[in-house]
């Protein structure tokens, strides 16, 4: 069975880069009847793990990703780690190192003077003597001293590290007994039964160390997939400078989770020239072995384009529910469905939809100055006053169109003589969806009220 995991360090919010690796891990597990697990890497106890879990849970819920079983917290697993450190000590695969900070510093200075890579020289590796007094030892792994560490990365292919260049007998437990990062990741991935580790390639340099630990502990090495980073449009690693990185910030900005997931799955993976991937398509086509080798570039326009696509195509009920969070209740409006359907054609975000909806639902409090100046003239006000008189019944958009055309013909007018002035009087600006649909949404009484208002307030 395929078991994947997402293992964030608590940062207080879920980063979109993190959501992408979570999505990849999720898809691979779900598409294959496997398991997708969540582990919070909170060994740095100063950080609040509960808060991070809440933030991740909230973002996962919004995106519709779910994980199996209980969340694992590394901070609750110290006893387990201690047991495995002891096991390695007992088996002679790890040892206590009593080097003081001063000695380490001196070694480093010598190595730097010789232009060598600073590394621990293994002086306590086979130490049998009496430990120096007053020093709490660290525990170091007996790492290989020569040769290569090679593995087949599911994305990058064959990866090789020269031991002499990257390894030393690195620390697995500090002098206060706390285990180090690579050690706990390996113990957890092994005990959680993780078969496929999909993570950012900023972790690539940890992998040879982790492989050393898998071997020492006698655990099966999982398959690794190191996903290239997401860059901003300037080619630098994506950061807050480029825009939002907090997943929930996208929600607040009016993006749909479908759009964000579609955007993220395509950032780093493709299937032919296809751009639109709903969850069902992702589950059908996604394979982590097809993830791109090179870094991807964040493209804000693409996200907007996808968001517009999902706003156009998701069911009314669904969008109406999401719009409640933006304080627009389409269902409370008698023409709510029509209104949403006309607005979805021209909204890039739910915030766009909110603004456009409120401009129609609420009578204008003020008028756009430029539009007012251009379109509200003594002549157009007179036309509006006359038009008001022909409004009796509530009609649908076609009915209003016929009525309007008759009115224009009888008064020897063109649509342009009426349409913009009518838009300004109804919505406060000259930009709105099809005027006849707006008329249908408002109904004749409300249209008359708004025309009367602009007539009354004439400057």
Alpha-carbon dihedral angle through residues 237, 240, 244, 245, given to the nearest 10 degrees: 60
The residue among 267 and 447 lying less far from ligand GLU, judged by its C-beta, is 267
Write down the catalytic residue from 76, 83, 236, 240.
Answer: 240
Closest CA to 51 of 42, 64, 60: 42
Q: Is 456 annotated as a binding residue?
A: no
Angle subtended by helix axes 257-266 and 16-31, to nearest 10 = 80
Phi and psi at 433, nearest 5°, equal: -65, 180
Q: Counting Cβ atoms within 10 Å, is residue 183 exposed (0-12), middle (13-18) or buried (19+)? A: buried
The residue among 8 and 254 lying less far from ligand GLU, judged by its C-beta, is 8
Interface of this chain with ligand GLU, residues 253 to 312, rule: CB under 6 A:
none
Residue 240 is a catalytic residue: yes
Q: Considering only residues 196, 199, 335, 344, which one is a binding residue for ligand GLU as defined by CB under 6 A? A: 199
CA distance 390 to 383: 11
As given in the structure block, the two tokens for residue 207 are: 């992998």
Site string for ligand GLU, 170-189 (x = CB under 6 A): ---------------x----
CA distance 42 to 282: 31
Q: Considering only residues 3, 7, 27, 319, which one is a binding residue for ligand GLU as defined by CB under 6 A? A: 7
In the complex, minimum distance from the CB of residue 160 to ligand GLU, in angstroms, rounded to a whole number:
20
Q: Considering only residues 30, 93, 203, 251, which one is a binding residue for ligand GLU as defined by CB under 6 A? A: 203
In the complex, minimum distance from the CB of residue 431 to ligand GLU, in angstroms, rounded to a whole number:
44
In the complex, minimum distance from the CB of residue 193 to ligand GLU, in angstroms, rounded to a whole number:
15
Closest CA to 58 of 88, 19, 32, 85: 19
The residue among 222 and 428 lying less far from ligand GLU, judged by its C-beta, is 222
- Work out whether 9 is an interface residue with ligand GLU (CB under 6 A): yes
Residues composing the chain: 459
In the complex, minimum distance from the CB of residue 75 to ligand GLU, in angstroms, rounded to a whole number:
13
The residue among 203 and 354 lying less far from ligand GLU, judged by its C-beta, is 203
- Work out whether 194 is an interface residue with ligand GLU (CB under 6 A): no
Whether 432 and 360 have beta carbons less than 8 Å apart is answered as yes
In the complex, minimum distance from the CB of residue 124 to ligand GLU, in angstroms, rounded to a whole number:
29
As given in the structure block, the two tokens for residue 400 are: 């209003």
In the complex, minimum distance from the CB of residue 8 to ligand GLU, in angstroms, rounded to a whole number:
5
CA distance 226 to 198: 6
Q: CA 333 → CA 320, 339, 356, 362, 427, distances in Å?
A: 11, 9, 15, 11, 16
CA distance 280 to 261: 12
The window from 6-14, 238-246, 401-409, 422-430 that contacts ligand GLU (CB under 6 A) reads 6-14
CA distance 422 to 311: 27
C-alpha atoms less than 13 angstroms from C-alpha of 34 in its C-beta half-sphere: 20
Tell me which residue has its CB nearest to ligand GLU: 199
CA distance 224 to 157: 10
The window from 4-12, 259-267, 366-374, 376-384 that contacts ligand GLU (CB under 6 A) reads 4-12
The window from 5-13, 125-133, 310-318, 375-383 that contacts ligand GLU (CB under 6 A) reads 5-13
The residue among 206 and 394 lying less far from ligand GLU, judged by its C-beta, is 206
The residue among 210 and 425 lying less far from ligand GLU, judged by its C-beta, is 210
The window from 3-11, 122-130, 142-150, 248-256 that contacts ligand GLU (CB under 6 A) reads 3-11
The residue among 199 and 344 lying less far from ligand GLU, judged by its C-beta, is 199
CA distance 381 to 149: 82
Closest CA to 377 of 434, 406, 432, 416: 416
As given in the structure block, the two tokens for residue 109 are: 């200075």
Q: Which residues contact 91 (CB under 8 A, 6 or more apart)?
A: none
In the complex, minimum distance from the CB of residue 330 to ligand GLU, in angstroms, rounded to a whole number:
39
The window from 2-10, 149-157, 242-250, 318-326 that contacts ligand GLU (CB under 6 A) reads 2-10
Interface of this chain with ligand GLU, residues 14 to 73, rule: CB under 6 A:
41
Q: Which residues bind ligand GLU (CB under 6 A)?
A: 7-9, 41, 185, 199, 203
Residues tagged active-site: 240
Q: List binding-site positions for ATP.
A: 240
């Amino acid at each position: 069975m395929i078991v994947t995991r997402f293992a964030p360090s608590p940062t207080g919010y879920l980063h979109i880069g993190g959501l992408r690796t979570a999505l990849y891990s999720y898809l691979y597990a779900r598409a294959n009847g496997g398991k997708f697990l969540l582990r919070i890497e909170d060994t740095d106890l100063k950080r609040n793990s509960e808060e991070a879990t809440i933030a991740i849970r909230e973002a996962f819920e919004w995106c519709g990703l779910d994980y199996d079983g209980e969340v694992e917290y590394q901070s609750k697993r110290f006893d387990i780690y201690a047991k495995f450190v002891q096991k390695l000590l007992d088996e002679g695969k790890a040892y206590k190192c009593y080097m003081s900070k001063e000695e380490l510093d001196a070694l480093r200075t010598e190595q730097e003077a010789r232009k060598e890579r600073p590394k621990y020289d293994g002086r306590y590796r086979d130490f049998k003597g009496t430990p120096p007094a007053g020093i709490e030892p660290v525990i170091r792994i007996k790492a290989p001293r020569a040769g290569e560490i090679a593995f087949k990365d599911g994305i990058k292919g064959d990866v090789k590290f020269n031991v002499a260049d990257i390894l030393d007998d690195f620390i697995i437990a500090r002098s206060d007994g706390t285990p180090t990062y690579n050690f706990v990741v390996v113990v957890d991935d092994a005990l959680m039964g993780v078969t496929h580790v999909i993570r950012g390639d900023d972790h690539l340099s940890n992998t040879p160390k982790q492989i050393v630990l898998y071997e020492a502990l006698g655990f099966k090495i999982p398959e690794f997939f190191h996903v290239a980073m997401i860059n901003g449009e300037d080619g630098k690693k994506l950061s807050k400078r480029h825009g939002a990185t907090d997943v929930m910030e996208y929600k607040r900005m009016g993006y749909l989770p479908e759009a964000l997931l579609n955007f993220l799955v395509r950032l780093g993976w493709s299937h032919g020239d296809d751009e639109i991937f709903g969850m069902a398509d992702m589950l059908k086509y996604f394979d982590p072995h097809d993830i791109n080798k090179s870094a991807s570039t964040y493209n804000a326009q693409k996200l907007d384009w996808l968001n517009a696509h999902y706003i156009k195509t998701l069911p009314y009920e669904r969008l109406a529910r999401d719009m409640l969070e933006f304080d627009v209740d389409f269902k409370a409006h008698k023409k709510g469905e029509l209104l949403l359907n006309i607005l979805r054609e021209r909204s890039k975000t739910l915030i766009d939809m909110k603004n456009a909806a409120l401009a129609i639902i609420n009578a204008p409090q003020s008028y756009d100055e430029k539009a007012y100046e251009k379109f509200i003239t003594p002549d157009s006000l007179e036309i509006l006053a006359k038009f008001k008189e022909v409004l009796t019944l509530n009609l649908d958009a076609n009915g209003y169109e016929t009525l309007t055309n008759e009115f224009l013909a009888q008064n020897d007018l063109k649509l342009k003589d009426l349409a913009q002035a009518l838009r300004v009087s109804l919505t406060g600006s000259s930009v709105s969806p099809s005027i006849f649909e707006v008329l249908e949404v408002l109904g004749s009484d409300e249209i008359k009220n708004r025309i009367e208002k602009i007539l009354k307030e004439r400057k």
